[in-house]
Amino acid sequence: MDDPVAMHKTTSAAPPQALSSDEAGASRVSAQDTASAFDLVIDALKLNGIDTIYGLPGIPISDLTRRAQAAGLRVISFRHEQSAGYAASIAGFMTQRPGVCLTVSAPGFLNALTALANATTNCFPMILISGSSEREVVDLQQGDYEEMDQLAIAKPLAKAAFRVLHAEDIGVGIARAIRAALSGRPGGVYLDLPAKVFAQTIDAAVARQSLIEVVDPAPRQIPAPEAVSRALDLLKTAKRPLIILGKGAAYAQADAEVRSLVEKTGIPYLPMSMAKGILPDTHPQSAAAARSYVLPEADVVMIIGGRLNWLLSHGKGKTWGGNSPKEWGGQRFIQVDISPQEADSNVRIDAPVVGDIGSCVSALLAGIDSSWLKPPAEWLDAVSERRNKNIAKMAETLGKNPSPMNFHSALAVVRDIIKANPDAILVNEGANALDFTRSIVDMYKPRKRLDVGTWGVMGVGMGFSIAAAVVSGQQVIAVEGDSAFGFSGMEVETICRYNLPVCVVILNNNGVYRGDEKNPSGGPDPSPMVFVKNARYDMLMQAFGGAGVQVTTPAELREAIQVAFRSRKPTLVNAMIDETAGTESGRITSLNPTAKKK
Ligand SMILES: Cc1ncc(C[n+]2csc(CCOP(=O)(O)OP(=O)(O)O)c2C)c(N)n1
Ligand SMILES: [Mg+2]
């Protein structure tokens, strides 16, 4: 790396529009040089190992994007800030370094705010840096260009929010943002940089002094020994134990330890969506295909890096064997989590183990020796029986080749492709397009499945795909509902511009959930649930020089994806799916309020 604290030479408060290659270098500073706020931001990021900015330029940050690129940072410039924000957040999840998103003031900031809030909700480390207007004018509400009190608006949606008013505080501001994003439970952080700051220059020696290389930004948190013993004691009493792996376990990158814990205890496990692949989904202890059996039947449940939120029916109700939606099923819970506030959020946690997942799992493993008894055979056999039955049933469904193609026959192809290319990253959003992909497509490696997460948010698709390709260099396949794709579809231009190995597969059923709905009034407008029939999304990719293919059969779909993977060319496969094949809201129909029927 270049000398990270070396400042770039600046001559005036209004920086030049383009940097000469001479100015791009970072280590030609003499004692009388000054440093601009732009330089300080760039050097503070570089000093902390941040090598990519996801953003969208404009006043007051255009020159920051140019200078960052000149200084060797990778700057990925998007068509909409929301996609840039989602990209930054998933880069944070994949790398354990905060993903940085850079936007202009008010509207640009607001466009990225959804992604910041989503990052906080999903515990992805991200820093949103936005330029902002004159403090004095904003506070008196005098109507500045893009006036908005951004810090106040970001605060309730972010894990932390900071503002820097003086160039010499940029080092501290970025250090605080990095620590806040990464330490403890990760989340989204907002950093407000008013335009006036960018115009400042300070003495280079002062600037150099002001930068902070953050030491140990995500310190290990070792669990208390008594908490570990309490958990192991409870686990030993179990007749029907179950382990649930959440995406926190994937984030922790403690893959070998988690696998070892599952295998040494012999306990069946369920991976949450983004935890798929920590152990291969084909692992004999995976109970994913017997989910509706193991949740109500388990007596002791150890949840690792996951939350008992709606995705797990709040740990109670019929899913867990309770007689009514509020009734507990009687399970006893061990919860391994980085946050001491997580336990008891929904049901009683008998054994909370608080610490970082790697340290907690290692501590649990240390208490498991060769005398550890595997769960009773009766339980393991019962789980296996359900699992094998459901897998056989699924194989039968996947073996069919209906015309028109449906979700199953299309996803059987994607399943084979991922099996043959386990390093490929699968991005996934939609309703039916999401739920069927999650249950049909097995993952073999950790952090390869990136999806709508805790909120079930649409619009992450292209941002996640771009960041996944940028961060990993691996082939990306984005399986998208046609509605889901629409939220970020214009980013196919970004994919083409950076020539990224992204293959977008749209499961096109002409609408939200289904494409066959009619206007109930009989009027000329289409139903709110449907789109233009047989839309040619493939031509959108062609417009920017990528490959666009329309397919109607599994064989054509297979060929199109294989060509995309071989060429690593930006590709969009428009896969036409039976428009009657989906169900309302996919698997979460029950959450959709409808007027009570008489
Ligand atoms: C930001 C956002 N807006 C709206 C929704 C509501 N919603 C959930 S799934 C979905 C689209 C489902 O259609 P599609 O992506 O085509 O999937 P399909 O079920 O048709 O396969 C929508 C709009 C959402 N989850 N997030
Ligand atoms: Mg659809």
Whole-number pLDDT of residue 357: 98
| Nearest bound ligand to the CA of residue 584 | 1
For 65-109, give the DSSP string: HHHHHHTT-EEEE-SSHHHHHHHHHHHHHHHSS-EEEEE-SHHHH
On whether the CB atoms of residues 165 and 318 are closer than 8 A, the answer is no
Residue-wise pLDDT for 300-359, tens only, equals 999 999 999 999 999 999 999 999 989 999 999 999 999 999 999 999 999 999 999 999
Q: What is the pTM of this model?
A: 0.94
In this prediction, residue 5 has a pLDDT band, given cuts at 50, 70 and 90, of very low
Residue-wise pLDDT for 71-116, tens only, equals 999 999 999 999 999 999 999 999 999 999 999 999 999 999 999 9
Q: Which atom of ligand 1 is nearest to the CA of 515?
A: 20
Q: Closest residue (by CA) to atom 13 of ligand 1?
A: 512
Whole-number pLDDT of residue 216: 98
Residue 3 has pLDDT above 50, yes or no: no
Whole-number pLDDT of residue 8: 43
Whole-number pLDDT of residue 259: 98
Whole-number pLDDT of residue 590: 77
Residue-wise pLDDT for 260-294, tens only, equals 999 999 999 999 999 999 999 999 999 999 999 99
Question: Of 493, 483, 492, nearest to 532 (Cα)?
Answer: 483
Q: Residue for token digits 């496969």?
A: 573
d(CA 528, ligand 1 centre) in Å: 12
In this prediction, residue 2 has a pLDDT band, given cuts at 50, 70 and 90, of very low
Element (H, E) at 393: helix 377-399
Percent residues over pLDDT 90 in the chain: 91
Q: Which atom of ligand 1 is nearest to the CA of 509?
A: 20
Whole-number pLDDT of residue 596: 61
Residues for the chain: how many in total? 598
In this prediction, residue 545 has a pLDDT band, given cuts at 50, 70 and 90, of very high
Burial of 426 (0-12, 13-18, 19+ CB in 10 A): buried
Q: Closest residue (by CA) to atom 20 of ligand 1?
A: 513
Residue 561 CA to residue 563 CA, distance in Å, equals: 5
Cβ of residue 489 lying under 6 Å from some atom of ligand 1? no
Q: Which atom of ligand 1 is nearest to the CA of 582?
A: 19
Whole-number pLDDT of residue 589: 78
In this prediction, residue 6 has a pLDDT band, given cuts at 50, 70 and 90, of very low
In this prediction, residue 597 has a pLDDT band, given cuts at 50, 70 and 90, of low
Cβ of residue 554 lying under 6 Å from some atom of ligand 1? no
Contacts of 430 (CB under 8 A, 6+ apart): 437, 458, 479, 480, 481, 482, 483, 484, 507, 586
Q: What secondary structure letter does DSSP report for 435?
A: H
Residue-wise pLDDT for 182-217, tens only, equals 999 999 999 999 999 999 999 999 999 999 999 999
Residue 130 has pLDDT above 90, yes or no: yes
Ligand 1 pocket test: pick from 86, 429, 504, 513 the residue with the most ligand atoms within 8 Å of its Cβ: 513
Whole-number pLDDT of residue 450: 98
Percent residues over pLDDT 70 in the chain: 94
Cβ of residue 484 lying under 6 Å from some atom of ligand 1? yes
Residue 485 CA to residue 429 CA, distance in Å, equals: 8
Whole-number pLDDT of residue 255: 98
Burial of 263 (0-12, 13-18, 19+ CB in 10 A): middle
Cβ of residue 512 lying under 6 Å from some atom of ligand 1? yes
Cβ of residue 375 lying under 6 Å from some atom of ligand 1? no
Q: Amino acid identity, residue 333? A: F
Strands (E) across 399-509 are located at 425-429, 449-451, 476-481, 502-508
Whole-number pLDDT of residue 594: 75
Q: Amino acid identity, residue 568? A: R
